[in-house]
Every structure is written in structure tokens, then in C-alpha cells.
Amino acid sequence: MNNQSNTSTAPPLSRTSALLLKFLGSMNLAITLLVALSIAAIIGTVLQQNQPYTDYIIKFGPFWFEVFKQIGLYDVYSSAWFLFILFFLVLSTSTCIYRNAPNMLHEMREYRQNIQLKTLENYLNTNSWLLTQPIEDIQHVVQKILPHNGYSARLKDDGSYVLISGMKGGASRLGYILTHLAIVLICIGGLMDGNAILKAREMLGQVVPETKNIAASDVPQISRLGINNQSFRGSVSIPEGRQTDVLFLNYKDGYLVQELPFSVEVKDFRIEHYESGQPKSFESDLVVYDDRLNQPLEKTISVNHPLIYDGYSIYQASFSDGGSKLEMLAWPLMGVNKQPQKVTTKVGDEFQMNISNEPWILESSNFRLFNINPSENPDKQFENSGPSVQFKMRNKMGEAKEYLNYMVPVERDGAYYYLSGVRASPAEEFRYLYLPVDDKGGLGRFMAYLQALGDEQLLQKIVAEQNFMGSNLPTKETAELNEAMVNVVGLFLKNGMSGVLEQVEKNAPADKLEEVSGLYVRVLQQMLGAVYVDVLIKEGVDVSNVGVDEEKAEFFDAAAAAIGAMTRYGSPVYFQLSSFVHHQASGLQIAKAPGKNLVYPGCAMLILGVFLMFYAPQQRLWAWIEQTDEGVKLVLAGHAIRNKLDFSKQFKKIQAQFERVLNG
């Protein structure tokens, strides 16, 4: 009784272990994990990974940004859930190998020589002969035909019968093992390169990303990763002639500084352009300095041609400005000072300015030698708009607007303009201010006109001389009207045409609104035109005899439109880029991925395993030879796990070979 009880009832722990092994090694779990990995891979491909959080906020908005952040979609391949899936896939696949590999290896060497005659006769592919030849002759024929068709054969002589078992494609079972081993290796490589250790260190409070924009040398130790960090991928921008021994890893809402056991210098950076100005190719001459080297290592890298050194891969990823020297003219947009101030600065630096007794800071952020924009010429798709400078103007309150000013005038509807883009935040598109170019190709006339409109004494003089309202009014009323006309110009300079109309709506009766609005607009146009004529006269234009030609009239319209739009410009000066000394920086991406040493062999094993499974299927043949009263009975039977239709055709060919030899 005790023995029977012990054999029929397994210990609870054994049953639990068996169920756990069955679950971990099940096909359902493996397929579920693979589907989850596929979805994650799609997300990681469609959604650009490891970008600054501000980029994602701009793209998705605050709500969805926070949702995707909590899910970990901005760094899918290093997210906790992705690493968790990889870990379980390794565990599941390893369990499957543990459970099935011994049987598969055994089956590769097993010729199934214990099979019964009845089983052979019940196979779909089978045929029998009753022969008069001696058993030895028939046996000899079988042992010739099977190897001729690629089957290795084993003979079993039972005394009453002879069984010859043939098999080919036994390596297909090895394909299953190789495929599963490949998945394990690839997943382990993914775990090694997926920052699992970094995630754990962050959870333990050993690593905290830095969020402030400070120099690499000022980043605290808790935001730095030492040279013993086994896996990372970061980027750094190095100006020509400079070197660095750190790089930056975008991490969550900040970054980490990764230290390198060597330093990299960008000796020279070169870029080639198409005729349109678009980048064609770019490359960097690098020098690697390492105390372990007898002499520095020099190599030229380009896109898709990295430098591999000591397990580190250094890629040519991008390029940017490396601190170009800029000379700009700061044209005042208010007051009567006609002379621009010359400003010399460098990209990345800050320049302190005092404008109208107010402190301002000029922050130059980027310089571009080429700007490729859609062309208005139908024969050209793109055109180069020339150099541009990008900068911010920050007031005493710390508020700033960003600007993008072009150095070379651009053509628009047959006229030329200096372009100045402005936006309040990176989330916005640039809105452009068009400043018309005068006959000399500069801004002299426009700036003189703008400053003349801000000169109250000049405006009063012009009003008195022009006598717009006639001389029939009393002196007091004429003076009030003249003052009102000067104020209208001031209101236009301050708030644009919309400000003038708003003032009319506040002061005019509702039933007279349209009439008064028309009057204000006419008065303003007369004043703007009179001031413009005065500017032309001071230029030396003979307006009294020649008049204002069409080109100068178009300039007036463009200048008035630009001045009316300046209310939203936000800067007290306009910066005109006059000269530059271009310095470039090479954008490098440096990666250390020891997991690739497992991933690459794993991929090779996966390819080999799939090939063996699908293109070398296991096939078996049996030849049963038995002496009977009527003669020698030969039964030929075959079985295949895969491609059964193809195997049936092959079996018929082999059967025909037996027919020709035995009955020939």
C-alpha cells in the first residue's frame, strides 16, 4: 500500500516544478512574448528614440507626452518592460531547449529499427513486392538504392526478417536547436546592450540624470558614468581642432555624461555639397589619444564607415556649427539714432548690450552656411538662400524670442528683401519679417524711413508744411489736428494698423465708425507718404521733377507693411549679418555594445537553423525483407514530417527504381 501510494502521488513541489517547466517551455508563451517584442520593435522604429523630452512635448503635447513617458516609449529598447520581456523569452526558450534538446539529439541518431510491419503497411507512402530473388540479392539492391538517393542506412537482421532503415535530413532537428539557441543568444545580447544595469542603478538612486545646461566638467558625479560602464550609445559635437574624452547620453528628461578611456580629436571636418547646396557627403579626420597606444591612432571616418577601436564604435552622425565668428550690424528699430552698432560675437557665446537704457543679452546659437529652401523658379526644385544666423534676444526679465536672419537678400515677387524669422518658442514655426532692399542693395533707405517716422520734430515740420487739412481752420484747431496726425503715426509705429483701428473704435461714435476709420487711414497714408518723400529728397532723388517711380512706390508699400508688422517683432534692434569666419563641428556617435558579440553569432545560427528546418527536412525509408511460402516479400515504406507532397513524388521515383532493378 505504501509503495503504491508513493508511486501514484508525486510530492507537491515536484508537481509545481513540472507545471512551471511546462508553462515556461510552452509554445503559447513563446509566441506571446515574440508578438510583444515585435510590437515593441515597431514602436521603436516608427518613434525616434532617445530624443530630448522637449521634442516629444512639441510633437505630442503635454498630455500624450506624459502618457508615453510613463509607458517608456521614448527609450523602448531600454525600458523595464522590454527588458522584462527579453528576460522571460530567454527563460522560456532555455526551458524549451532543456526539455526537448535531448530527445531531438537522440532522434537525429535514431533509425527506428523497432518499427512493425503493420505500421509500415499503413503508411501513406508504401508499396510491396513478392519476389523470387534470394534475400541476399534483394538486400544488396536496397543497400545500393537508398544511399544513391541520399539516405544513410542501418540494417537489422532479426532472423525471420531483415529491416533496412534509411534516413536523411536528420540535421533538421539540429535546426530546431540552433534556432532556439539563437533566440537565447540574441536576447542575452539585447539584455547586455539594453542598459539593464543602468536601470537598476537608477532605481537604487546611484544615477540621477542632469537637467541643467552646464559644462561637462561641472556635471556632478551622480550624473556621470565611468569607463567601466559596459554598454552605451551617446553623442558629442566636437569643433575642428578640439578633443574630448566624454560624451552625452540622452536619458529621460536630462542627460548623463559618459567618460571614455581615451580622447578623440577632430583634426579636420570636410563636407561636399550638391549644386543646390544640399549636403552630399561629409567626413572627419579623427585622432585617438590613448596611453595604451605607442602613438595616436589616426583615421578618416564617414557615414557608414566608422572607426572601431577597443570595442568602441565611433560613427560620423552629423555636423553643426563649431563656434563661427560673426560680425553683425545692430540697426536700431526705435529712436532717431541712424548709425548701426557693430557687434562681434561667436556662436555659443553671450553678448551683453545696453539699448535705450535697458539691458539685453544676445545669445548666438547657430550659423548655417547653406539654407536649402523650395524655389519659386519652376525649373528648380530647391535653391540656396545663403548663410543665416540663429540667435535669441533676452530682456532683463529673462524672456527671450528666437530669431533667424539671412545674410543675403531673397527674391519675392520680383523684389528683394532681407528676411528675419521670429518665434516665441521652439514649438512654433518662424514668422518672417520682410525688410525691403533699396537701390544700393542695403537697408539704408528703410532704416532712414523708420527713424524718420519716429522723429516727432520732423513729423510736426512735415505736417505744418504740407497743411493736409487746409488753412481755413482756426490756428488752435489746426494745431490740435496736426498734433493728432503726429500721434497717429506714433500709434502706427507702436501697435501697427490694428492699433490705429482699435483706437478709432474706442473714441469714435458707433454711427460714425466707418467714416472716422476711413479718415484715420487716409491721414496715416498721407503722413507715411510725405515722410517717405522727405527721405527720398534727402537721398538726392529729384522728386519734384521726376516724381516717385513704380519701383520706389513698391518699396514704400513694402516698407510700410514691414513697419506695421514690427509690433510683434520683439527686439529693439535688427541684426544684419555682415561677415563671418566659419568653424564647423563634427557630430560623432560613440557606442559600446558588447552584446553584439552574441547577437551576430546568434543571427548566423538563426539563419542556419531556419535553413535546416525548412530546406533539409527529415525523411525516412524502410525496406522490410521477409521469406514467405510464396517467395520473398519486400515492403518499402516512407515517412516525412514536412513537405509531404514533395516526399510522395520522391518516394514514387525511388519505387520506380526498385521496379526497374527487381523486375528488369
Mean pLDDT of the chain: 86
Q: The dihedral of CA 132, 133, 135, 139: what is its sign?
A: negative
What are residue 355's phi and psi, to 5 degrees? -125, 120
Tens-digit pLDDT profile for residues 413-436:
888 999 999 998 887 889 999 999
How many whole angstroms separate alpha carbon 495 and alpha carbon 654? 97
pLDDT at 654 over 90: yes
- Given a contact cutoff of 8 angstroms between Cβ atoms, the answer to whether 561 and 302 are in contact is no
How many whole angstroms separate alpha carbon 565 and alpha carbon 446? 14
Report pLDDT for 2.
Answer: 43
> Whose CA is closest to 430, among 371, 498, 345?
371
Report pLDDT for 108.
Answer: 82
What are residue 349's phi and psi, to 5 degrees? -95, 170
Q: How many CB atoms lie within 10 A of CB 600?
A: 13
- Rounded average pLDDT over 632-648: 90
Cell numbers for 217? 566638467
Tens-digit pLDDT profile for residues 102-156:
888 888 888 889 999 999 999 999 999 998 889 999 999 999 999 999 999 999 9
Report pLDDT for 298.
Answer: 94
How many whole angstroms separate alpha carbon 462 and alpha carbon 492? 17
> Whose CA is closest to 282, among 586, 583, 582, 581?
586
Give the number of residues written for the chain: 664
Q: How many CB atoms lie within 10 A of CB 85?
A: 20
pLDDT at 467 over 70: no
Report pLDDT for 4.
Answer: 44
Residue 375's Cβ-count burial label (10 Å; 0-12, 13-18, 19+) is: middle
How many whole angstroms separate alpha carbon 551 and alpha carbon 540? 16
- Given a contact cutoff of 8 angstroms between Cβ atoms, the answer to whether 602 and 610 are in contact is no
Report pLDDT for 54.
Answer: 73
112-139 per-residue burial string, b: 16 or more CB within 10 A, e: under 16: eeebebeebeebebbbebebeeebeebb
How do the domains of the chain map onto residue ranges?
18-106+176-193, 117-169+617-663, 204-230+232-322+584-592, 325-440+574-579, 450-569
How many whole angstroms separate alpha carbon 486 and alpha carbon 467? 13
pLDDT at 544 over 70: yes
Q: Residue 76 gets which letter from DSSP?
A: G
User: In 25-160, which residue ranges form alpha helices assigned H by DSSP?
Assistant: 27-46, 53-71, 80-109, 117-122, 135-148
- Given a contact cutoff of 8 angstroms between Cβ atoms, the answer to whether 181 and 605 are in contact is yes
How many whole angstroms separate alpha carbon 268 and alpha carbon 287? 10
- Rounded average pLDDT over 292-307: 93
Segment (H or E) for 131: strand 125-131
How many whole angstroms separate alpha carbon 436 and alpha carbon 648? 85
| Residues contacting 256, CB < 8 A, separation 6+ | 207, 209, 210, 223, 224, 225, 234, 248, 249
- Rounded average pLDDT over 301-312: 92
Long-range contacts of 312-315, Cβ-Cβ distance < 8 Å, separation of 24 or more: 312/260, 312/590, 312/591, 312/592, 313/590, 313/591, 313/592, 313/593, 314/264, 314/286, 314/588, 314/589, 314/590, 315/588, 315/589, 315/590, 315/591
Domain formed by 204-230+232-322+584-592, architecture: Sandwich (2.60)
DSSP-derived secondary structure for 193-236: HTTHHHHHHHHTTS---B-S---GGGS-GGGEE-TT---EEEEE
β-pairing verdict for 584-592 and 232-239: antiparallel
Report pLDDT for 361.
Answer: 94
Cell numbers for 303? 557615414
Q: At the topology level of CATH, where does 117-169+617-663 sit?
A: Alpha-D-Glucose-1,6-Bisphosphate; Chain A, domain 4 (3.30.530)
Tens-digit pLDDT profile for residues 237-288:
999 999 999 999 888 778 999 999 999 999 999 988 777 667 788 899 999 9
Report pLDDT for 194.
Answer: 73
Cα→Cα distances 399→333, 351, 494, 570, Å:
19, 16, 20, 10
User: In 454-593, which residue ranges form alpha helices assigned H by DSSP?
Assistant: 456-466, 475-507, 513-539, 543-546, 550-565
Report pLDDT for 617.
Answer: 83
Tens-digit pLDDT profile for residues 8-32:
455 666 777 778 778 887 888 888 8
Report pLDDT for 6.
Answer: 46
> Whose CA is closest to 653, among 638, 633, 634?
638
Tens-digit pLDDT profile for residues 355-366:
888 899 999 999
Q: Give the bridge partners for 266, in sequence order.
A: 286
Measure CA of the first residue to CA of the last residue in the chain; give whole Å: 67
Where residue 291 falls among pLDDT bands split at 50, 70, 90?
very high
**pLDDT over 90 percentage in the chain:** 38
Residue type, 153: A
- Given a contact cutoff of 8 angstroms between Cβ atoms, the answer to whether 365 and 392 are in contact is yes
